Amino acid sequence: MNGDSEDGKPKKLQYEGPDPDLAAMLERDVLETTPGVRWDDVAGLTEAKRLLEEAVVLPLWMPEYFQKLYNKKWWRVQNWKRMMELGDRGKGVLMFGPPGTGKTLLAKAVATECGTTFFNVSSATLASKWRGESERMVRCLFDLARAYAPSTIFIDEIDSLCNARGASGEHESSRRVKSELLVQVDGVSNSGTNEDGSRKIVMVLAATNFPWDIDEALRRRLEKRIYIPLPSFESRKELIRINLKTVEVAQDVDIDEVARRTEGYSGDDLTNVCRDASLNGMRRKIAGKTRDEIKSMPKDEISKDPVAMCDFEEALTKVQRSVSQSDIEKHEKWFQEFGSA
Ligand code: ADP
pLDDT tens column, 301-338: 666 678 999 999 999 999 999 999 999 999 999 999 99
For the CA atoms of 190, 185, 66, 341, the dihedral, rounded to the nearest 10 degrees, stands at: -170
Q: Who wins on pLDDT, 265 or 91?
A: 265
Radius of gyration over alpha carbons of the chain, in Å? 23
Separation of CA 221 and ligand 1 centre (Å): 25
Separation of CA 215 and ligand 1 centre (Å): 26
Q: Who wins on pLDDT, 135 or 156?
A: 156
Separation of CA 181 and ligand 1 centre (Å): 26
pLDDT of residue 197: 65
Is the separation of the CB atoms in 226 and 210 below 8 Å? no
Banded pLDDT at 3 (limits 50, 70, 90): very low
State if residue 139 touches ligand 1 by the CB under 6 angstroms criterion: no
Pairing of strands 151-156, 117-122: parallel
Separation of CA 73 and ligand 1 centre (Å): 41
State if residue 120 touches ligand 1 by the CB under 6 angstroms criterion: no
Q: How many helices (H) and strands (E) does the chain have?
A: 19, 6
Q: Who wins on pLDDT, 188 or 41?
A: 41
**Mean local confidence (pLDDT), 101-116:** 89
Separation of CA 206 and ligand 1 centre (Å): 15
Banded pLDDT at 276 (limits 50, 70, 90): very high
State if residue 241 touches ligand 1 by the CB under 6 angstroms criterion: no
pLDDT of residue 44: 94
The alpha carbon dihedral of 75, 81, 85, 90 has a sign of: negative
pLDDT of residue 85: 40
**Mean local confidence (pLDDT), 260-269:** 97
pLDDT of residue 45: 94
pLDDT of residue 100: 97
Average pLDDT, the chain: 81
pLDDT of residue 201: 77
State if residue 112 touches ligand 1 by the CB under 6 angstroms criterion: no
Substitution candidate for ligand 1 out of 240, 265, 268, 319 with most atoms within 8 A of CB:
268
Q: pLDDT above 70 covers what percent of the chain? A: 74
Banded pLDDT at 77 (limits 50, 70, 90): low
pLDDT for 30 beyond 90:
no
State if residue 31 touches ligand 1 by the CB under 6 angstroms criterion: no
pLDDT of residue 286: 80
Is the separation of the CB atoms in 270 and 240 below 8 Å? yes
State if residue 232 touches ligand 1 by the CB under 6 angstroms criterion: no
Separation of CA 90 and ligand 1 centre (Å): 26
Closest among 238, 248, 214, 242 to 334, alpha carbons compared: 214
State if residue 45 touches ligand 1 by the CB under 6 angstroms criterion: yes
Dist. CA 159–CA 331, nearest whole Å: 14
State if residue 43 touches ligand 1 by the CB under 6 angstroms criterion: yes
| 278 φψ region: left (φ > 0), alpha (ψ -120 to 50), beta (else) | alpha
State if residue 306 touches ligand 1 by the CB under 6 angstroms criterion: no
Residue 135 to residues 60, 176, 183, 219, Cα–Cα distance (Å): 28, 6, 11, 19
**Mean local confidence (pLDDT), 201-215:** 91
Tell me which amino acid residue 241 is: R
Substitution candidate for ligand 1 out of 123, 265, 269, 271 with most atoms within 8 A of CB:
271
Closest among 339, 341, 326 to 264, alpha carbons compared: 326
pLDDT of residue 73: 59
- 230-248 pLDDT, tens digit per residue, is 999 999 999 999 999 988 8
- 137-181 pLDDT, tens digit per residue, is 888 889 988 888 888 899 999 988 766 555 455 567 677 788 888
Q: Who wins on pLDDT, 17 or 328?
A: 328
Substitution candidate for ligand 1 out of 49, 101, 228, 322 with most atoms within 8 A of CB:
101
Question: For atom 25 of ligand 1, which residue has the closest CA?
Answer: 42
pTM of the model: 0.83
Banded pLDDT at 84 (limits 50, 70, 90): very low
Q: Is 226 helix (H, G, I), strand (E, B) or coil?
A: strand
* Residues with Cβ within 8 Å of residue 90, at least 6 apart in sequence: 55, 223, 224
pLDDT for 26 beyond 90:
no
Separation of CA 239 and ligand 1 centre (Å): 9
Separation of CA 11 and ligand 1 centre (Å): 30
The highest-confidence range among 25-29, 68-72, 237-241, by mean pLDDT, is: 237-241
Separation of CA 267 and ligand 1 centre (Å): 5
Q: pLDDT above 90 covers what percent of the chain? A: 35
Q: Who wins on pLDDT, 216 or 166?
A: 216
